[in-house]
Amino acid sequence: MAFAENLRRIRLAAFLSQAELGRRSSVHAITITRLESGRTAPSTRTVRALAAALGVQPAELATPEEVAEADKRQRPHQGLEKRSPLLGRRGEPGG
């Protein structure tokens, strides 16, 4: 079963609204709506927060593959330095 289905099933079994789950997990209710509809993939942090609020293990909500894919999309590219047009390489003027 996919994360979205698991989240909705477990939330409803606990008799929680999306708003109440949001309060308990510190995840915005709109984000929960997007997660349950499958429009947003969960990060590791989100899965852990939701699992704790629901009283289940994170593995009951999401597979490692689902979370890894979402984390990969959210993580900045490794090894690339951020550059500002006004600052040099290390955040120093002209540097």
Q: Walk me through the domains of the chain, giving residue ranges and CATH numbers.
A: 3-74 (1.10.260.40)
- The residue ranking higher by pLDDT, 14 or 89, is 14
Exposure class string for 23-35: b at 16+ Cβ within 10 A, else e: ebbebeeebbeeb
Residue 84 binned pLDDT confidence (cut-offs 50, 70, 90) = very low
Q: What is the pLDDT of residues 33-69, one digit of tens each?
A: 999 999 988 999 999 999 999 999 999 999 888 887 7
Q: Alpha helix locations (H) across the chain?
A: 3-13, 18-25, 29-37, 44-54, 58-61, 64-74
- Predicted local distance difference test score (pLDDT) of residue 8: 97
Looking at the DSSP bridge assignments, the partners of residue 87 are 93
